[in-house]
């Protein structure tokens, strides 16, 4: 049987300074991890590589994103001659002309601040080109009406975007649109957008050129030919597979997450060293006690277990404190301005059970790894030498 927990618990208070330093390090680690994990969860939509391999997105050369691109009617006329374009059920070519812009609208009640939302004006063909867009509530907008449909994530994030809600769009925010439907793409970037009829949006925002065109081809294998035509001298636009476009967009975000992950890893190693340091001090201060325990019949295993337990006690309590700290800050939103779409990816510090478990897991890992070497040293204490009077 093992040594009792209260034995370890009380020993923690013997070396208060050393214990509290380790405690602070682990609690900070947990806090940073929570921030990273909720950040990662919040931007998952933009991380998701959406799009279709048979869709080709056409932009103005040099435009980094749809919202900074303009395609003139002349250019559009040449785009439609690209090879391999598929036809919809109604016999029309599957080319979606899209107008991308953004506007600032209020967030959900209780947070009286504004944030940017992407607004996309599309025609009915858009639903053929982007079949992943599914209406989950209400209906599609009527062309020519002041009606919009909203992505599920946008509805959750902004104020008054439920069915029947109203939203001010336009250059001066002077047009009142009615929300008639909610759509979902299964985690894609569209989920954070507002879609309306292209001519209406064009009118409201006073933008007369489309931003992009998306071509749906019969087959993904034909994309290369279409792209070489579109990027060639006759059309001179910049086209990409839709999948490739989203991949590029999410790259920055992924880089940030990767960087923070490296930071967490380095912090974890540092924390493990802090734990090891504290535990070594504990072992060295208790050599006689360990020798006595071995004398009265505690085995090496019981000694190892006891020191690992002691370390876990610090790390787990520190983890709870870190989580409590994160809870305290939770609800604070950080706007993460995507530099490619110029829209805000709202990120909220939110402690979900997954995040709490993940933090506890990391804290325990740090505790065990940091305690192993000191615990082994404790188990190897030379009993007779340690018992000798000083």
Partner 1 sequence: MSAADIVATSVRKVYHKDRIEIPVLDGLSLKIDAGEFVVLMGPSGSGKSTLLHLIGGLDSPTSGSIRVGEYNLERMTERELTAWRSRHVGFIFQMYHLVPVLTAAQNVELPLLLFKMSSAERRERVATALKVVGLADRTDHRPNQLSGGQEQRVAIARAIVTDPDVILADEPTGDLDAKTSEEILALLNLLNSEFNKTILMVTHDPRAASHGQRVVHLEKGVLEREERNPARPAMAAS
Let me know: does 282 contact 15? Beta carbons within 8 Å: yes
The token pair that represents 157 in the structure block = 């994030």
List of residues 6+ apart from 95 with CB closer than 8 A? 79, 80, 85, 125, 129, 213, 214, 215, 216
Q: Which is nearer to partner 1, 17 or 384 (CB)?
A: 384
Closer residue to partner 1 in complex, CB, 4/61:
4
Task: Note whether 61 binds partner 1 by CB under 8 A.
Answer: no
Choose the binding region for partner 1 from 237-245, 266-274, 276-284, 290-298 (rule: CB under 8 A).
290-298
* Binding letters toward partner 1, positions 292-331, x by CB under 8 A: xxxxxxxx--------------------------------
Q: Contact letters (x/-) for partner 1, 359-388, by CB under 8 A?
A: ------------------------xx--xx
CA 150, 152, 154, 158 dihedral sign is: positive
Q: Is 9 exposed, middle or buried (0-12, 13-18, 19+ CB in 10 A)?
A: middle
β-strand 134-138 against 175-184: which pairing, if any? Answer: antiparallel
Residue 109 vs 296, nearer CB to partner 1: 296
- Could you say whether residue 288 binds partner 1 (CB under 8 A)? yes
Q: Which residues inside 13-42 make contact with partner 1, applying CB under 8 A?
A: 13-14
Binding part of the chain for partner 1, among 2-10, 76-84, 236-244, 363-371 by CB under 8 A, reads 2-10
Q: Which is nearer to partner 1, 7 or 273 (CB)?
A: 7
Query: By rule CB under 8 A, what count of residues binds partner 1?
Result: 26
Beta bridge partners, 44, equal: none
Q: 202 or 317: whose CB is closer to partner 1?
A: 317
Q: Quick one: 11 or 102, whose CB is closer to partner 1?
A: 11
Interface with partner 1 (CB under 8 A), residue from 3, 257, 320, 368? 3
Distance separating alpha carbons of residues 326 and 176, to the nearest angstrom: 39
Q: Three-state SS string across 276-340, please?
A: HHHHHHHHHHCHHHHHHHHHCCCCHHHHHHHHHHHHHHHHHHHHHHHHHHHHHHCCCEEEEECCC
Among 4, 61, 83, 232, the residue binding partner 1 under the rule CB under 8 A is 4
Residue 7 or residue 336: which is nearer to partner 1 going by CB? 7
> What ranges make up the beta strands (E) of the chain?
55-59, 95-106, 114-122, 134-138, 147-151, 166-169, 175-184, 193-197, 212-216, 238-241, 333-337, 344-348
Closest CB to partner 1 among residues 198, 294: 294
Please state, as a whole number, how many other Cβ atoms lie within 10 Å of the Cβ of residue 16: 10
User: Minimum distance between the CB of residue 3 and partner 1, rounded to whole angstroms?
Assistant: 7
**Rounded-to-integer distance, Cα 369 and Cα 338, Å:** 38
Judged by CB under 8 A, does residue 5 bind partner 1?
A: no
Which of 289, 342, 351, 376 touches partner 1 (CB under 8 A)? 289
> Measured from the CB of residue 246, what is the shortest distance to partner 1 in angstroms?
59
Q: How far is the CB of 313 from partner 1 (least distance, A)?
A: 13
Within 10 Å of residue 49's Cβ, how many Cβ atoms?
Answer: 18
Distance of CA 129 to the CA centre of its chain: 27
CB of residue 318 vs partner 1: minimum separation in angstroms? Answer: 20
Nearer to partner 1, 13 or 89 (CB): 13
Which residues of the shown chain bind partner 1 in the complex (CB under 8 A)? 1-4, 6-7, 10-11, 13-14, 288-289, 291-299, 383-384, 387-389
């Amino acid at each position: 049987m093992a040594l009792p927990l209260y034995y370890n618990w009380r020993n923690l208070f013997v070396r208060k300074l050393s214990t509290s330093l380790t405690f602070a390090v682990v609690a900070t680690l947990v806090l940073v991890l929570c921030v990273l994990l909720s950040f990662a969860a919040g931007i998952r939509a933009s991380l998701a590589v959406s799009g279709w391999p048979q869709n080709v997105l056409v932009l103005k050369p040099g435009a980094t994103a749809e919202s900074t691109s303009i395609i003139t009617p002349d250019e559009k006329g040449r785009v439609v001659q690209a090879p391999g374009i598929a036809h919809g059920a109604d016999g029309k070519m599957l080319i979606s002309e899209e107008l991308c812009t953004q506007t600032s609208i209020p967030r959900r009640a209780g947070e009286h601040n504004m944030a940017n939302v992407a607004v996309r004006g599309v025609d009915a063909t858009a639903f053929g080109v982007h079949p992943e867009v599914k209406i989950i509530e209400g209906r599609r907008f009527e062309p020519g009406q002041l009606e919009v449909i909203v992505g599920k994530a946008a509805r959750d994030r902004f104020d008054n975007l439920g069915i029947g809600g109203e939203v001010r769009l336009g250059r001066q925010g002077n047009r009142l649109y009615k929300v008639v439907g909610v759509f979902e793409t299964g985690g894609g970037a569209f989920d954070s957008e507002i879609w309306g009829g292209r001519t209406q949006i064009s009118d409201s925002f006073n933008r007369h050129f489309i931003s992009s065109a998306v071509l749906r081809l019969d087959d993904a294998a034909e994309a290369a030919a279409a792209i070489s035509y579109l990027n060639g001298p006759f059309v001179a636009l910049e086209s990409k597979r839709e999948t490739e476009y989203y991949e590029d967009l999410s790259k920055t975000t992924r880089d940030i997450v990767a960087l923070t992950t490296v930071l967490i890893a380095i912090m974890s190693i540092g924390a493990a060293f802090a734990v090891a340091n504290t535990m070594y001090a504990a072992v060295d201060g208790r050599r006689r006690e360990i020798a006595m325990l071995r004398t009265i019949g505690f085995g090496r295993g019981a000694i190892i277990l006891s020191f690992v337990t002691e370390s876990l006690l610090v790390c787990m309590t520190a983890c709870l404190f870190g989580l409590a700290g994160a809870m305290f800050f939770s609800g604070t939103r950080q706007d993460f301005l995507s530099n490619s779409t110029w829209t805000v990816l709202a990120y909220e510090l939110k402690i979900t059970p997954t995040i709490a478990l993940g933090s506890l897991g990391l804290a325990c890992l740090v505790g065990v790894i940091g305690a192993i070497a000191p615990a082994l040293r404790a188990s190897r204490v030379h009993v007779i030498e340690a018992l000798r009077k000083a």
